[in-house]
Chain A
Amino acid sequence: MSESDAESVSREVAQRVFAAEFNDASYTFKESDDDRAPVYLLLPTGERANRIFVVGTLTETEDVGEDNEYWRGRIVDPTGTFFVYAGQYQPAAASALRELETPAYVAVVGKPRTYETDEGGINVSVRPESITEVDAATRDRWVVETADRTLDRIDAFDAAGNEYARMAGEEYGDTGSNYTETVVEGLGSLETTDELGADVAADTDGDRSDSTDDDAEGDAVDTADPSPQP
Chain B
Amino acid sequence: MTELRTHAAEIAEQFSDHVDVTEDEVESKLQQLVEEYQVPLDEATRSVRNSYLEAAGIEREEISQGGSDQVLVNEINQDEQWVDLRVKLVDLWDPRSDSISQVGLLGDESGTIKFVAFKTSELEKLTEGKCYELSNVVTDEYEGTYSVKLNRTTTITEIDEAIEVGDNSDTVEGALVDVQSGSGLVKRCPEDDCTRVLQNGRCAEHGEVDGEFDLRIKAVLDDGHEVQDVIFNREATEALTGIELDEAKQLAKDALDTTVVADEMRADILGRYFTVTGPTLGRYVLANEFDQHDGPADAESVLIKARSI
Do A and B share a complex? Answer: yes
Judge whether B229 is part of the interface by a CB distance below 8 angstroms: yes
Judge whether B177 is part of the interface by a CB distance below 8 angstroms: yes
Judge whether A159 is part of the interface by a CB distance below 8 angstroms: no
Q: Please tell me which one of the listed residues A11, A13, A107, A109 contacts residue B224 in the complex, with CB atoms under 8 A apart.
A: A13
CA distance A14 to B226 in the complex (A): 9
| Contact (Cβ within 8 A) B273 A14 | no
Interface string of A118-136 (1 = CB under 8 A from B): 0000000000011011110
| Contact (Cβ within 8 A) A138 B222 | no
Q: Interface range on chain B: under 10, 10 to 19, 20 to 34, or 35 or more?
A: 35 or more
Among A177-185, A195-203, A222-230, the one that faces the other chain is: A177-185
| Contact (Cβ within 8 A) B266 A130 | yes
| Contact (Cβ within 8 A) B297 A143 | yes
A129 nearest in chain B by CB position: B178
B305 nearest in chain A by CB position: A151
Among B24-32, B81-89, B102-110, B288-296, the one that faces the other chain is: B288-296
| Contact (Cβ within 8 A) B271 A134 | yes
Q: Please tell me which one of the listed residues A1, A13, A106, A177 contacts residue B271 in the complex, with CB atoms under 8 A apart.
A: A106
| Contact (Cβ within 8 A) B294 A137 | yes
CA distance A48 to B222 in the complex (A): 16
Q: Please tell me which one of the listed residues B182, B263, B284 contacts residue A3 in the complex, with CB atoms under 8 A apart.
A: B182
Within 8 A of A (CB), among B255-274: 263, 266-267, 270-273
List chain B residues, Cβ under 8 A from A132: 266-267, 270-271
CA distance A148 to B299 in the complex (A): 9
Q: Please tell me which one of the listed residues A134, A140, A151 contacts residue B272 in the complex, with CB atoms under 8 A apart.
A: A134
Judge whether A141 is part of the interface by a CB distance below 8 angstroms: yes
List chain A residues, Cβ under 8 A from B309: 151, 154-155, 177, 180
| Contact (Cβ within 8 A) B302 A187 | yes
| Contact (Cβ within 8 A) A107 B283 | no
CA distance A21 to B266 in the complex (A): 29
List chain B residues, Cβ under 8 A from A15: 224
Judge whether A4 is part of the interface by a CB distance below 8 angstroms: yes
With contact pairs A8-B229, A107-B271, A107-B272 given, residues A184 and B177 touching in the complex (Cβ less than 8 Å): no
A181 nearest in chain B by CB position: B306
Judge whether B282 is part of the interface by a CB distance below 8 angstroms: yes
| Contact (Cβ within 8 A) B273 A187 | no
With contact pairs A107-B270, A109-B177, A130-B270 given, residues A14 and B224 touching in the complex (Cβ less than 8 Å): yes
Within 8 A of B (CB), among A163-187: 177, 180, 183-184, 187
| Contact (Cβ within 8 A) A145 B297 | yes
Judge whether B55 is part of the interface by a CB distance below 8 angstroms: no
CB distance from B222 to the nearest CB of A (A): 5
List chain A residues, Cβ under 8 A from B267: 132-133
Judge whether A149 is part of the interface by a CB distance below 8 angstroms: yes
| Contact (Cβ within 8 A) B180 A138 | no
Q: Please tell me which one of the listed residues B199, B224, B306 contacts residue A180 in the complex, with CB atoms under 8 A apart.
A: B306
CA distance A130 to B303 in the complex (A): 30
CB distance from B272 to the nearest CB of A (A): 6
CB distance from B284 to the nearest CB of A (A): 7
CB distance from A44 to the nearest CB of B (A): 15
| Contact (Cβ within 8 A) B294 A138 | yes
Judge whether A16 is part of the interface by a CB distance below 8 angstroms: yes
CA distance A148 to B220 in the complex (A): 21
Judge whether B225 is part of the interface by a CB distance below 8 angstroms: yes
List chain A residues, Cβ under 8 A from B284: 1
| Contact (Cβ within 8 A) B271 A8 | no
CA distance A149 to B272 in the complex (A): 17
11 extra interface residue pairs, beta carbon distance < 8 Å, beyond A130-B178, A141-B297: A4-B181, A11-B227, A53-B222, A129-B178, A132-B270, A137-B293, A141-B273, A143-B297, A144-B298, A144-B302, A190-B299
B positions within 8 Å CB-CB of A: 175, 177-178, 180-182, 199, 220, 222, 224-227, 229, 263, 266-267, 270-273, 282-284, 293-299, 302-303, 305-306, 309
A positions within 8 Å CB-CB of B: 1, 3-5, 8-9, 11-16, 51, 53, 55, 92, 106-109, 129-130, 132-135, 137-138, 140-145, 147-149, 151, 154-155, 177, 180, 183-184, 187, 190
5 nearest CB pairs, A to B = A107-B271, A144-B297, A141-B297, A132-B270, A132-B271
What are 21 contact pairs spanning A and B, CB under 8 A?
A1-B284, A11-B227, A13-B222, A14-B222, A51-B177, A53-B175, A92-B266, A106-B271, A108-B271, A129-B178, A132-B267, A134-B272, A138-B271, A138-B294, A143-B299, A144-B297, A144-B298, A149-B225, A184-B303, A187-B299, A187-B303
